[in-house]
């Protein structure tokens, strides 16, 4: 899976990729995440935008909507693969 | 004795009131002043966090809270002095800010009703509270919001970003007393750690040249419409394509010379706050409105309106 973070005041792009086969924690978190359920991004000035890809699924999530297991997953992947 | 004291007090008061009337005639309107409150999120993400400094209170000793307190004051003073605007909403909105947001947070943002600042991760960014233009940029997102807004995606989003860079830079120039040719026209100078090869995040003078670093890559900003970047990330590249209108402002301001907030800044400010700017404005719409505004302010064939039209033409945006 991969996470690409864009936006923020700086506008810098950061991408992190992790193979869930190598990371049981990531695999576990993926099981708790429903990418189809994330709300449509509401663009807000200088907030981060996350493009999340899990296998064939992808979704764009605004920083303010990143909660619960999805937040945990994104933070974990950014730490591991950033 | 009691009577005598009362009489004396009465006399003293009369004298004092008379002296005040001579020294300070009552102002025609209520004087405007910033009303700032600083909060500390203590590295959590709950807003606004614990109150650490109210308006008029002494410095906290927390460098970041005190820097933001000062920069909120300078930005308030800039908008009030340069454009007669009483705070972000024009109606004396209290200025609320939170520092120490989240952990190693590499960002600052306008949340819709308050400012929020991270500490920076100290690897790439050392501070978000140090440079005045960051606070000027973020509070201007509030000014844009209260002026009717610019939709935060595509060209209108890049204009939203550009307007924040323009007034962020102007606040800094105002604070330093600089003319257009003295200004650095950089956004975020002093934010990077020494590990990063770059002077700032963006350059209005030379978009695309602010940084070139092995870890961060190269500043991707275009200066020309021909180089407009189509992308799905960052709401359609709002922090990338802002380079085009940023450079147009720089060109207009340096052509006109003097204090950039007085002429070019006035044109941009009046356009932003005209209540006629569509929230979905593209570059051509915004450019055409700045040209019309310059004509209204300075005359249709004035040096000022010519400079505005030429500035947009140079970046490949033809006013209509």
- Scanning the structure block, which residue is given the tokens 């102007």? B170
- Scanning the structure block, which residue is given the tokens 């591991």? A80
Q: Is B164 on the interface with A (CB under 8 A)?
A: yes
E strands of B14-168, at which residues?
A: 36-40, 50-54, 95-99, 108-110, 115-117
pLDDT at position B29: 64
Instruction: Mutate one of A5, A10, A78 to test the B interface: name it (highest B CB count within 10 A).
Output: A10
Together in a domain, B126 and B185: no
pLDDT at position B26: 52
pLDDT at position B9: 54
pLDDT at position B22: 52
Report yes or no on B258 lying in a domain: yes
pLDDT at position B13: 53
**Residue B298, domain CATH:** 1.10.390.10
Report yes or no on B24 lying in a domain: no
Token readout for A76 is: 């974990």
Q: Is B238 on the interface with A (CB under 8 A)?
A: yes
pLDDT at position B218: 97
Counting one residue from A and one from B, how many pairs have CB atoms under 8 Å apart?
A: 74
Which of A8, A12, A43 faces B153 most closely, judged by CB atoms? A43
Together in a domain, B226 and B121: no
Domain count, chain A: 1
Whether the CB-CB separation of B76 and B19 falls below 8 Å is answered with no
Together in a domain, B116 and B250: no
What single string gives the DSSP state of each residue in B126-194?
S-SSSSHHHHHHHHHHHHHHHTT---SSHHHHHHHHHHHHHHHHHHHHHHHT--TTT---EESTT-B-T
Domain count, chain B: 2
pLDDT at position B1: 43
**Which residues of A lie closer than 8 Å to B, measured between beta carbons?**
4, 6-13, 41, 43-49, 51, 60
Which of B108, B125, B217 faces A46 most closely, judged by CB atoms? B108
Report yes or no on B254 lying in a domain: yes
Together in a domain, B98 and B197: no
Together in a domain, B66 and B213: no
**Residue B48, domain CATH:** 3.10.170.10
Chain A residue with CA closest to B160: the answer is A45
Catalytic residue among B239, B247, B259, B304: B239
B239 classed as catalytic: yes
Pairwise CA distance, residues B225 & B227, whole Å:
5
Together in a domain, B309 and B201: yes
Report yes or no for ipTM above 0.90.
yes
At A20, is the secondary structure helix, strand, or coil?
A: helix
Taking only the tens place, the pLDDT of each residue in A15-29 is 999 999 999 999 999
A contacts of B138 (beta carbons < 8 Å)? 9, 45-46
pLDDT at position B8: 47
Subunit contact A46:B134, Cβ cutoff 8 A: no
Taking only the tens place, the pLDDT of each residue in B5-54 is 444 455 555 555 455 545 555 555 667 999 999 999 999 999 999 999 99
Residues of chain B whose pLDDT is less than 50? Answer: 1-3, 5-8, 17, 21
pLDDT at position B142: 98
Together in a domain, B119 and B190: no
In 3D space, the residue among B223, B265, B224 whose CA is nearest the CA of residue B83 turns out to be B265
Report yes or no on B251 lying in a domain: yes
Subunit contact A13:B234, Cβ cutoff 8 A: yes
Report yes or no on B140 lying in a domain: no
Together in a domain, B197 and B229: yes
Report yes or no on B275 lying in a domain: yes
Report yes or no on B141 lying in a domain: no
At B35, is the secondary structure helix, strand, or coil?
A: coil
Q: Which domain holds residue A19?
A: 2-81
B contacts of A4 (beta carbons < 8 Å)? 233
Strand partners, B202: B187
Q: How far is the CA of B84 from the CAs of A54, B31, B91, B163, in angstroms?
A: 51, 11, 11, 18
pLDDT at position B156: 98
Q: Is B152 on the interface with A (CB under 8 A)?
A: yes
Report yes or no on B18 lying in a domain: no
Together in a domain, B54 and B106: yes
B contacts of A51 (beta carbons < 8 Å)? 232-233
B39 classed as catalytic: no
* Burial (CB count within 10 angstroms: exposed 0-12, middle 13-18, buried 19+), residue B173: buried
pLDDT reading at A5 higher than 90: yes
Chain A residue with CA closest to B239: the answer is A11
Helix B283-298 and helix B243-256, axial crossing angle in degrees, nearest 10: 20
pLDDT at position B195: 97
pLDDT at position B5: 47
Together in a domain, B69 and B218: no
Pairwise CA distance, residues A69 & B142, whole Å:
32
DSSP 8-class letter at B231:
-
Chain B residue with CA closest to A14: the answer is B216
Together in a domain, B73 and B202: no
Pairwise CA distance, residues B185 & B264, whole Å:
14
Pairwise CA distance, residues B248 & B315, whole Å:
6
B contacts of A49 (beta carbons < 8 Å)? 233-235
Q: Write the CB contacts of B176 (distance below 8 Å, at least 6 apart in sequence).
A: B182, B183
Together in a domain, B168 and B59: no
Pairwise CA distance, residues B90 & B67, whole Å:
23
- Element at B265 (helix H, strand E): helix B264-272
B contacts of A46 (beta carbons < 8 Å)? 107-110, 138, 141
A contacts of B232 (beta carbons < 8 Å)? 51, 60
Q: Which domain holds residue B242?
A: 154-314
pLDDT at position B10: 54
């Amino acid at each position: 899976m991969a996470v690409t973070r864009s936006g923020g005041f700086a506008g810098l792009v950061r991408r992190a990729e992790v193979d869930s086969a190598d990371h049981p924690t990531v695999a576990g978190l993926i099981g708790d995440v429903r990418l189809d359920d994330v709300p449509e991004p509401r663009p807000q000035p200088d907030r981060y935008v996350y493009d999340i890809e899990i296998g064939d699924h992808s979704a764009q999530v605004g920083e303010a909507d990143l909660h619960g297991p999805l937040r945990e997953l994104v933070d974990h992947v950014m730490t591991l693969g950033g | 004795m009691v009577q005598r004291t009362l009489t004396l007090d009465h006399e003293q008061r009369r004298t004092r009131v008379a002296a005040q009337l001579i020294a300070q005639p009552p102002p025609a309107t209520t004087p405007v002043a910033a009303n700032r409150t600083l909060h500390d999120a203590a590295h959590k993400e709950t807003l606004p966090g614990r109150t650490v400094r109210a308006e008029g209170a002494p410095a906290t000793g927390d460098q970041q809270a005190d820097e933001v307190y000062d920069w909120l004051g300078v930005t308030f003073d800039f908008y009030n002095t340069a454009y007669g605007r009483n705070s972000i909403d024009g109606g004396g909105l209290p200025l609320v800010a939170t520092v120490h947001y989240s952990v190693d947070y590499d960002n600052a943002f306008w949340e819709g009703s308050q400012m929020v600042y991270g500490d920076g991760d100290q690897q790439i960014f050392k501070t978000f509270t140090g440079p005045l233009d960051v606070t000027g940029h973020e509070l201007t997102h509030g000014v844009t919001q209260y002026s009717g807004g610019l939709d935060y995606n595509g060209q209108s989003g890049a204009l939203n970003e550009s307007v924040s860079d323009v007034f962020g830079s102007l606040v800094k120039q105002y604070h330093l007393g600089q003319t257009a040719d003295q200004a650095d026209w950089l956004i975020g100078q002093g934010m990077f750690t020494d590990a990063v090869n770059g002077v700032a995040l963006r350059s209005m003078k030379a978009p695309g040249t602010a940084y070139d670093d092995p870890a961060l890559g190269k500043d991707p900003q275009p200066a020309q419409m021909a180089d407009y970047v189509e992308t799905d990330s960052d709401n359609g590249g709002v922090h990338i394509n802002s380079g085009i209108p940023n450079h147009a402002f720089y060109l207009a301001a340096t052509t006109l010379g003097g204090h950039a907030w007085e002429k070019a800044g006035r044109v941009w400010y009046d356009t932003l706050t005209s209540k006629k700017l569509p929230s979905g404005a593209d570059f051509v719409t915004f450019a055409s409105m700045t040209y019309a505004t310059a004509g209204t302010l300075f005359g249709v064939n004035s040096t000022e309106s010519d400079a505005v039209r030429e500035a947009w033409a140079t970046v490949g945006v033809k006013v209509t």
